[in-house]
Structure 1
Amino acid sequence: MNTKQQQQELVTIKTGQEGRFRWVAVTALLLAIGAILKIVTPAVGGITPNWLIAMYCIAINLTRVNVKQAAGIGLVTGAISIPISKAALPYANFASEPVGAVVCALLVHTSFSLKLGGVNLRPAITAGISTVASGFTFISILKVVLALPMAVYLYGMMPVVLMAAGINMVITQLLYFPAKRLFGGKED
């Protein structure tokens, strides 16, 4: 075999494999942006948007990863969250973030579409439900581990999760379409 044939074999690309790991690059970029925003965003009334959840919801909506990949995204997000968390028990992110990411992937794969004037609201809905799933998992772990009173859980923590979910819905919806133009995405 001559050198020219060997070189041709080295640059051969199998059809259908070109974008196989595109989801990793898109997710990594969005999570990096989310981490920076989480660090610099101050709390307003004790509430900050969870930028990491918003960003992984955008990534999952864009790339439509499977449930196993979404769980991986959640674990990575949990690991990123630990050193930048403003919470009392940051290690609970290892459980809560995979729950949120898997819920998001499951919702995306239901292929529902709720449109308002031609605008698909799936990014907002998936972000809201995923934030609630992640947040309730987080505060439930926090309640058990720290033995918090039920009143604190119900009236202090649950409203914060619900407000963060509302904020994340708006953020995700607003950032989804520019991200889709930038990174490309599967059709809604």
Structure 2
Amino acid sequence: MEAKQQEMITIKSGQEGRFRWVAVTALLLAIGLILKLVTPAVAGITPNWLIAMYCIAINLTRVSIKQAAGIGLVTGAVAIPTSKAALPYANLISEPVGAIVCALIVHTSFKLAIGTINLRPAITAGISTVASGLTFITILKVALSLPVAVYLYGMLPVVLAVAGINMAITQLIYFPAQRLFGGKEA
């Protein structure tokens, strides 16, 4: 019987959390996907849990713009099979737009708080949802040759309503997620 020699793994200092952002994002997107599948629509509107979760992940990990684009692309791919939209592949464009917008806001030096309450999660979620939603409905309008009235009075109000809902959800979930994952403070 041969004796097995144990391998020694060495970790260079400063490399410990190099891919932490991937784990945090994957877990939050998985939670978002489950919530997307089980959340019923109210008046035809459901929160966009995937955007809320990637905004939380980007706020916690402060990823680069390139990494945010990757997060958005993965989110878009995950959203395709669960989409109820007429053109689900538009998510491959709209979600990276939303994630990049979120990362750009996260990297600004503006203090987005009222007193001691950090409002950056809500603000990033609202603006990212609007950016992603506008991109999505614009692609839909052009690809399906929809009338301007449908775009302005049918789809745009839904995007704004979802943005408001996402702002509240993201703000509420961010602080427990920050305690759980130990995110960076902006």
TM-score scaled by length of structure 2: 0.95
Among 71, 90, 93, the residue aligned to 1:92: 90
Residues 112, 122 of structure 1: 8 Å contact kept? no
Does the residue aligned with 2:36 lie in a helix, a strand or coil? Answer: helix
3-state SS of paired residue (2:172)? helix
Report the RMSD for the aligned CA atoms in angstroms. Answer: 1.3
Residue 113 of structure 1 and its aligned partner are, at CA, apart by: 2.0
Alignment of 1:97-108 (within 5 A): 97-108=95-106
Q: Measure the CA separation in 2 of the matches of 1:33 and 1:168.
A: 15
Give the secondary-structure state (helix, strand or coil) at the position aligned to 2:156: helix
Partners of 1:38 and 1:113 in 2: how far apart? 31
Q: Percent identity?
A: 81
Aligned-partner Cα distance in 2 for 1:174–1:112? 21
Which one has a larger percent helix, Structure 1 or Structure 2? 1
In structure 2, which of residues 27, 35, 38 is the aligned counterpart of residue 37 of structure 1?
Answer: 35
Aligned to 1:156: 154
Matched position secondary structure for 1:83: coil
Pick the aligned partner of 2:48 from 47, 50, 53.
Answer: 50
Q: Which 5+ residue runs of structure 2 have no aligned equivalent?
A: none
Shift of 1:14: 0.4
Q: Deviation of residue 11 (structure 1)?
A: 1.5
The size of the alignment, in residue pairs, is: 183
Q: Which residue matches 1:70?
A: 68
1:113-143 CA deviation, whole Å, 9 max, x = no partner? 2222411100000000000000000000000
Aligned to 2:124: 126
Deviation sequence 1:85-140 (CA, Å, 0-9, x none): 12111100000000000000000000322222411100000000000000000000
Question: 2:184 aligned to 179, 183, 186, which one?
Answer: 186
Q: Distance in 1 between matches of 2:52 and 2:155?
A: 19
Q: CA deviation at 1:185?
A: 0.5
Using the alignment, how far apart are the partners of 1:24 and 1:55 within structure 2?
13
What secondary structure, in the 3-state scheme, does the structure 1 residue paired with 2:80 have? Answer: helix
What residue is the counterpart of 2:23 in the other structure?
25
Structure 1 runs of 4+ aligned residues shifted over 6 Å read: none
What corresponds to 1:138 in structure 2? 136
